[in-house]
Amino acid sequence: MPLVSSTPMLQEARANGYCIGAFNVHTLEMLQAVVEAAEETQSPLIIQSTVGTVKHLGPEYIAAAATVASNLSSVPIALHLDHCTDFDLIVRCIRAGYTSVMIDASKFPFEENVRQTLKVVEVAKAAGVNIEAELGKVGGVEDDIVVAEHEALMADPDECAKFVELTGVPTLAPAIGTAHGIYKGEPKIDFDRIKRIADKVDVPLVLHGGSGIPEEQVKRCVSLGMAKMNVATELRIVFSDAIKAVFAANPEENDPRSYMVPAKKALKEAAIEKMRLCGCIGKARDLTGR
């Protein structure tokens, strides 16, 4: 089936108390692995690419590969541009075939964040594309966006409600204590803040920094209203470690297929585990009616 907007799938997830895994991919094999995981488990899927990956591969190549994968699959798949600050790049990705985009103007004051988000909403909604925006600042590193721990700001529930009302944004990523990258200790997630935001905002909420969050904390976040969980760093590590293991066993290996096959297998298994945590296994049938 063709690529779809993630708006309906995320609305369905929030309404029914589960979450959809959103996986950052950087190679064709990584894309194939998460799609195969979704197909095997009948899970709805969001494929993501960072701005750095878009610049590395080109949005047209990424969108073309995702479109082929989606057309060969029976589950609903969306293609999302993550953490973008460049309006022109957002437009280029929409034209290439992306079905979801994130405008990240969280570093600006509230009013400027609203202005920039509105600009993207106007363009993306007309194209039938989902829009995600961030309020507060999620700590850690995402490509060239770096937010130090002392600069990470929690999202204010009242501001979240006002932001959604002013922008009409269909999905919101509030900063609630998670961070990009792998946690050095236990994540300090503000569960009460998630509940207060969810009580005031009826749009699906997005959990950034999904790598390495303990199972019980993921499930609690989902139960409180998180309908999308982003996973990036953990997948890169799994994929890279599988490749390293091949070269450790055979340093002279020079056939990419010899190390990409085990890397793809390892990533697929990791993606399935995240889908289980999200509670979205088998939910594709609810969206497709099959």
pLDDT tens-place string over residues 224-269: 999 999 999 999 999 999 999 999 999 999 999 999 999 999 999 9
Checking DSSP bridges between strand 20-24 and strand 45-49, what pairing results, if any?
Answer: parallel
Measure the CA–CA gap between 177 and 90, rounded to whole angstroms: 27
- Coil, helix or strand at residue 187: coil
Mean pLDDT of the 161-182 span: 87
Measure the CA–CA gap between 20 and 141, rounded to whole angstroms: 22
SS3 content of the chain, % helix, strand, coil (to 5): 50, 15, 30
139-to-154, 233, 286 alpha-carbon distances in Å = 10, 14, 35
Count of beta carbons in the 10 Å neighbourhood of residue 171: 23
Nearest CA to 278 out of 45, 50, 78, 36 is that of 45
Count of beta carbons in the 10 Å neighbourhood of residue 62: 25
Contacts with 6 (C-beta within 8 Å, 6 or more apart), sequence order: 20, 46, 78, 80, 99, 100, 130, 171, 228
145-to-51, 84, 96, 138, 188 alpha-carbon distances in Å = 10, 9, 24, 10, 21
The confidence score (pLDDT) of residue 209 equals 80
Measure the CA–CA gap between 17 and 234, rounded to whole angstroms: 24
Over 90: is that where the pLDDT of 148 sits?
Answer: no
pLDDT tens-place string over residues 66-124: 999 999 999 999 999 999 999 999 999 999 999 999 999 998 999 999 999 999 999 99
Over 70: is that where the pLDDT of 151 sits?
Answer: no
Look up 82 and say whether it is catalytic: yes
Measure the CA–CA gap between 176 and 267, rounded to whole angstroms: 27
The confidence score (pLDDT) of residue 137 equals 66
The confidence score (pLDDT) of residue 287 equals 85
**Range list of β-strands (E), the chain:** 20-24, 45-49, 77-84, 100-103, 130-135, 140-142, 145-147, 171-174, 205-207, 226-231
The confidence score (pLDDT) of residue 141 equals 43
Measure the CA–CA gap between 282 and 228, rounded to whole angstroms: 16
pLDDT tens-place string over residues 172-220: 999 988 775 554 556 778 999 999 999 999 999 999 886 778 889 999 9
Nearest CA to 218 out of 178, 184, 266, 267 is that of 178
Q: Which residues pair with 283 in a beta bridge?
A: none
pLDDT tens-place string over residues 14-67: 999 999 999 999 999 999 999 999 999 999 999 999 999 999 999 999 999 999
Kindly state the DSSP code that residue 139 receives in the 8-state scheme.
B
The number of helix segments (H) and strand segments (E) in the chain equals: 12, 10
The confidence score (pLDDT) of residue 275 equals 97
Q: Which two tokens stand for residue 87?
A: 């309006």
Mean pLDDT of the 258-287 span: 96
